[in-house]
Amino acid sequence: MLLRRIPSLARLAFALSLVLALHALAAPLGPLVIQTDFGTKDGAVAAMKGVAVSVDPTLHLFDLSHENTPYDIWEAAYRLKQTAPYWPAGTVFVSVIDPGVGTARASVVLQTKSGHYFVTPDNGTLSLVAEELGIAAVRRIDEHVNRRAGSEKSYTFHGRDVYAYVGARLASGAITFEQVGPLLAPEVVRLPYTPAARDGDALVGTIPLIDFHYGNVWTNIPDTLFEGLTPAPRFGDTFTVVISHEGREVWRGVLPYVRTFGDVPEGAPLLYLNSLLNVSFALNMGNFSQAHGLASGGTWTVRVTRSPVTKPRS
Domain ranges of the chain: 2-184, 197-306
CATH topology of domain 2-184: Rossmann fold (3.40.50)
Pick from 198, 167, 175: which is nearest to 279 by CA?
198
Given a contact cutoff of 8 angstroms between Cβ atoms, the answer to whether 97 and 125 are in contact is: yes
Pick from 114, 109, 104: which is nearest to 93 by CA?
109
pTM listed for this prediction: 0.84
What per-residue confidence (pLDDT) applies to 19? 42
Give the model confidence (pLDDT) of 249-300 as tens digits: 999 999 999 999 999 999 999 999 999 999 999 999 999 999 999 999 999 9
- Terminal Cα-to-Cα distance of the chain (whole angstroms): 92
What per-residue confidence (pLDDT) applies to 27? 47
CA distances for 299 relative to 98, 192, 217, angstroms: 20, 8, 14
DSSP string, 163-224: IHHHHHHHHHTSS-GGGSS-EE-S----------EEETTEEEEEE-EEETTTTEEEEEEEHH
Pick from 267, 300, 259: which is nearest to 283 by CA?
267
Burial class (CB in 10 A: 0-12, 13-18, 19+), 296: buried
Domain 197-306 has CATH 3.20.20.70: no
Q: Return d(Cα 209, Cα 281) in angstroms, integer.
A: 11
Q: Return d(Cα 129, Cα 117) in angstroms, integer.
A: 10
CA distances for 233 relative to 105, 218, 258, 307, angstroms: 45, 18, 10, 11
What per-residue confidence (pLDDT) applies to 20? 43
Given a contact cutoff of 8 angstroms between Cβ atoms, the answer to whether 95 and 127 are in contact is: no
Q: Return d(Cα 281, Cα 203) in angstroms, integer.
A: 14
What per-residue confidence (pLDDT) applies to 214? 96
What per-residue confidence (pLDDT) applies to 175? 97
Which residues are CB-neighbours of 205 under 8 A, at least 6 positions away? 194, 195, 196, 197, 219, 220, 221, 279, 301, 302
What per-residue confidence (pLDDT) applies to 4? 54
Q: Return d(Cα 53, Cα 212) in angstroms, integer.
A: 31
Extract the residue ranges of the chain whose pLDDT is less than 50. Answer: 2-3, 16, 18-28, 312-314
What per-residue confidence (pLDDT) applies to 15? 52
What per-residue confidence (pLDDT) applies to 10? 56
Pick from 182, 94, 174: which is nearest to 137 by CA?
182
Q: In one letter, which amino acid is 312?
A: P
